[in-house]
Amino acid sequence: MTGHVLTTDESGADPHNPHAPHGRLPTLALGALGVVFGDIGTSPLYALKESFVGHHPLAVDGPHIFGVLSLIFWTMMLIVTLKYVLIVMRADNDGEGGSMALLALIARSLGETRWTPWIAMLGVIATALFYGDAIITPAISVLSAVEGLTVVESSLGELVLPISIVILVALFVIQKQGTEKVGTFFGPVMVVYFLVLAVLGVANILHHPEIVGIVNPMWAVRFFLIDPKLAFLALGSVVLAVTGAEALYADMGHFGRKAISMAWLYAALPCLMLNYMGQGALLIDNPQAAQNPFFLMAPGWARLPLVILATMATIIASQAVISGAFSVTRQAVQLGFLPRLSIRHTSASTAGQVYVPVVNWMLLILVILLVISFRSSSSLAAAYGIAVTGTMVITACMMGVLTFSVWRWPPLVAGAVTGTFLLIDGAYFLSNATKIPDGGWFPLLVAAVVFLLLTTWSTGRKIMRRYLADGAMDFNVFIASAANSVRRVSGTAVFLSSSIDGVPPALLHNVKHNKVLHERVIILTVKAEAVPHLPDEGRIEIFDHGSGFYRIRLRHGFMEDMDIPAMLRTVTQCGAPIGKMDTSYFLSRQTLIAAERPGMAIWREKLFALMIRNSATPMEFFNLPTNRVVELGSQIEI
């Protein structure tokens, strides 16, 4: 490419991160307690119960009670506190966290190496597993809370399923109102909920104060010595106590590392452990309470209010994972792993709060099918955990790359830390793998489908771009032949192109069929960078090719949306201002035809073509004025 390079220098760039969470630390920590810890906060409803009466029942006696609780305590300390709070959350990508943000951070830091495709694959697998978790979390959380009705009155058992379905449908219907409104309504409930967890725990601990001895890791060791096989299988239930740990990292951009750390260390962790200890104290006196220790901790008069409070808490837990699915989908679209989708912003003040209709309704359908198929939280517990532990293993692998190659820790330290977490997370994953025949296959199936979609779209785009580039005319050759031989008309024509070289097909079709060129022709390429947010300076690059031809590159972060008309209005280096009423936008609409060529299998090419046909129009995605857009189609064999 030739031409003089012009770069805009838009004022207003904040040298500090302007997208960082604003507010006092205690206020942010309180908000994090209500949103981030919803999933892990509702785990006392089912984690200990599943350890004793799940698919691999344990004797409800002292060694097993102390052994399981010791495993829960040290799992929280090692996985949540040490791994996520103290280490992984330091890997922030301009303040953002999560699998996609971590993948982008590593890719940006390392550049193109022989390991890059494998690291990218790990990030894609982790994202795919997240969707499996996003389907199961609302189902098991709401079911486990509503099942508390059977503790209040056993005859209410028949109402559990219909009430759960009604709650879940209502939850997904109100998603279009936005996370902010839903969180404002339910947020304070989580504060009350955590306080109730602590009060119930302390009230029962007072009967057996010796239960606090579970902090001694020897109880966990003795559990393995007594029955190694059952102890290993019990890990599949124990890990339910830390489901939601990934949320600490994924939601870092909303509240910040310090606020989330404070909320965990000073509120969530103490309240959760007090409650688990209280459940253990209850089981010492009443082994039969293992059927539902969470609700049986409370006195009879308080159980119905506790069911209502727990149900509201599970709604918030579900809300967190649903909004997380919207956010992950948006990141995947911006980074080129999914086609354009209709994405609606639900908050004027918080850019990260979005609503993705197609994801919302697909999740609802799958969650309802899941509830109807499994019918109880105990059955769902068999399906829960495999996706979570799989994601934890992948995070440990990516953390290894981070400590060795990006942070450059001493090899012995990096190897010891990575190896320790791979051993712990691997043990939990293998224990959960034993549950695959009993339901663990479901999240793996969902993850496999999502993985197929993500990789098909990413690979298909690369193949299509390669074929377009191979057949593209050199831009300067086109200008030399067309600038003075084709009639010029007034106004500005903006041709969107995915490539930074060559002539976009829409421009060639316009000259071929309409036989005109506008006075000013702009070839526009939009690129999402591997950072969540970009400063204003350097977002726009302009290449002046003479004769009224320009090539412009617009860059943005993967957590940002692109308003092309607004960005172009800031451009002053292309002559007259690019006005709204005298600018037309030309889009290329490709129809793909699957062909026997090197690339992808025919069935994947057909799937890619289907995804292109059903992708959202660039008009909505880039905020283009609908009455100023012209689409020109062509057919491509891949």
User: Distance from first CA to last CA of the chain, Å, rounded?
Assistant: 26
CA angle at residue 86 from 196 to 35, to 5 degrees?
A: 40
Kindly state whether residue 12 falls inside one of the protein's structural domains: no
Question: Percentage of the chain with pLDDT > 90?
Answer: 40
At 505, the amino acid letter reads P
What pLDDT, on a 0 to 100 scale, did the predictor assign at position 7?
40
**Span 507-513, average pLDDT:** 87
pTM of the model: 0.82
Whether 398 shows a pLDDT value over 70: the answer reads yes
Based on the domain organization, do 374 and 500 belong to the same domain?
Answer: no
Least confident of 2-11, 237-246, 577-586: 2-11
What span, in angstroms and rounded, lies between the C-alpha atoms of 434 and 368?
25
Do residue 427 and residue 514 come from a single domain? no
491 and 399 within one domain: no
Q: What is the pLDDT of residue 11?
A: 32
pLDDT of res. 94: 75
- Asked if 240 and 289 sit in the same domain, the reply is yes
- pLDDT confidence bin for 494, thresholds 50/70/90: very high
Do residues 346 and 180 touch, judged by C-beta distance below 8 A? yes
Are the beta carbons of 400 and 414 closer than 8 angstroms? yes
How many Å apart are CA 68 and CA 219, to the nearest integer?
8
Contact 317, 204 (CB under 8 A): no
Predicted confidence at residue 431, as pLDDT, reads 93
What's 44-60 look like in SS3? HHCHHHHHHHCCCCCCC
Instruction: Let me know: does 638 contact 599? Beta carbons within 8 Å.
Output: yes
Q: What is the mean pLDDT of residues 78-95?
A: 88
pLDDT of residue 259: 87
Instruction: Determine the Cα–Cα distance for residues 20 and 476; give it in Å rounded to an integer.
Output: 43
Contact 147, 310 (CB under 8 A): no
What is the pLDDT at residue 289?
A: 93
| Average pLDDT score over residue span 301-327 | 87
Residue 16: both structure tokens together: 């500090």
**10 found inside a domain:** no
Structural domain range at position 80: 25-440
Render the burial of 136-152: b for 16+ CB within 10 Å, e for the rest. Answer: bbbbbbbbbbbbbbbbe
Is residue 194 in a domain? Answer: yes
Residues 338 and 476 in one domain: no
Give mean pLDDT, residues 256-273: 92
631 SS3 class: strand
Tell me, yes or no, whether 160 and 276 share the same domain: yes
Residue 434 belongs to a domain:
yes
> Do the Cβ atoms of 568 and 540 come closer than 8 Å?
no
CA angle 418, 422, 427 (to 5 degrees): 155
CB atoms inside a 10 Å sphere around CB 627: 7
Give how far the C-alpha of residue 301 lies from the chain's centroid of Cα atoms, to the nearest Å.
40
Q: How many other β-carbons are positioned within 10 Å of the β-carbon of residue 502? A: 21
Question: Based on the domain organization, do 436 and 476 belong to the same domain?
Answer: no
Number of domains in the chain: 2
Does the pLDDT value for residue 196 go beyond 90?
yes
Of 419, 440, 461, the residue at which a domain comes to its end is 440
Please state, rounded to an integer, the average pLDDT across all residues of the chain. Answer: 85
Same domain, 180 and 240: yes
Own/partner pairs for 595-604, CB < 8 Å, 24+ apart? 595/637, 595/638, 597/637, 597/638, 599/459, 599/463, 599/638, 600/456, 600/459, 600/460, 600/463, 600/638, 604/456, 604/459, 604/460
- Kindly state whether residue 460 falls inside one of the protein's structural domains: no
Task: Give me the DSSP letters along 54-116.
Answer: SSS----SHHHHHHHHHHHHHHIIIIIIIIIIIIGGG--BTTB-SHHHHHHHHHHHH-S-TTH
Of 136, 132, 130, residue with least CA distance to 168: 136
pLDDT tens, position by position, 526-571: 988 877 778 878 789 999 998 899 999 999 887 777 889 988 988 8
Beta-strand pair 487-496/583-593? parallel
Query: What integer pLDDT is reported at residue 9 of this predicted model?
Result: 39
To which residue do tokens 């808490």 refer? 313
Closest of 294, 200, 234 to residue 75, by C-alpha? 234
Verify that 388 and 500 share a domain, yes or no.
no
Q: Write down the residue that tokens 């508390």 correspond to.
A: 148
Question: What is the CATH number for 101?
Answer: 1.20.1740.10
**CA atoms 240, 242, 248, 249: torsion sign:** negative
479 and 368, same domain (yes or no): no
Q: Are residues 199 and 112 in the same domain?
A: yes
Find all residues with CB under 8 Å of 613, minimum gap 6, and list them: none
Percent residues over pLDDT 70 in the chain: 92
Nearest to 427, CA basis, from 44, 75, 43: 75
Looking at residue 16, what is its pLDDT? 44
pLDDT category at 78 given cuts 50, 70, 90 is very high
* 86 in any annotated domain: yes
Beta-carbon count within 10 A of 545 CB: 19
- The neighbouring-strand residues paired with 633 are 589
pLDDT of residue 512: 85
The per-residue pLDDT for 181 is 60
Quick one: which of 628, 636, 638, 631 has its CA closest to 506? 631
Q: Is residue 336 over pLDDT 50? A: yes
Sign of the torsion formed by the C-alpha atoms of 450, 453, 458 and 459: positive
Q: Which of 413, 72, 3, 81 is nearest to 214 (CA)?
A: 72
Which is higher by pLDDT, 277 or 349? 277
Which of 440, 462, 483 is where one domain is finished?
440
Question: 442-489: per-residue pLDDT in tens?
Answer: 999 999 999 999 999 999 888 888 877 776 788 888 888 887 788 999
Under 8 Å CB-to-CB from 603, ≥6 apart: which residues?
Answer: none
Count Cβ neighbours within 10 Å for each residue of 440-474 and write b for 16 or more, e otherwise. bebbbebbeebbebbbbbbebbebbeebbeeebee
342 burial (CB, 10 Å; 0-12 / 13-18 / 19+) is middle
Same-domain pairing of 418 and 501 = no
Residue identified by tokens 């029942």 is 57
204-215: per-residue pLDDT in tens? 999 999 999 999
* CA 354 – CA 254 distance, rounded (Å): 13
**Is residue 427 predicted with pLDDT exceeding 90?**
yes
Q: What pLDDT is attached to residue 20?
A: 54
Q: Alpha carbon of 3 to those of 9, 160, 405, 438, 601: distances in Å?
A: 19, 69, 38, 63, 40
CA distances from 462 to 211, 249, 327, 459, 595 (A): 58, 30, 24, 5, 16
Cα 474 to Cα 17: distance, rounded to the nearest angstrom? 40
pLDDT at 2: 42
For tokens 């609606």, name the residue: 344
The answer to whether 338 and 359 are in contact (CB under 8 A) is: no
Average pLDDT over residues 113-129: 84
Does residue 258 form part of some domain? yes
- Asked if residue 167 is part of any domain, the answer here is yes
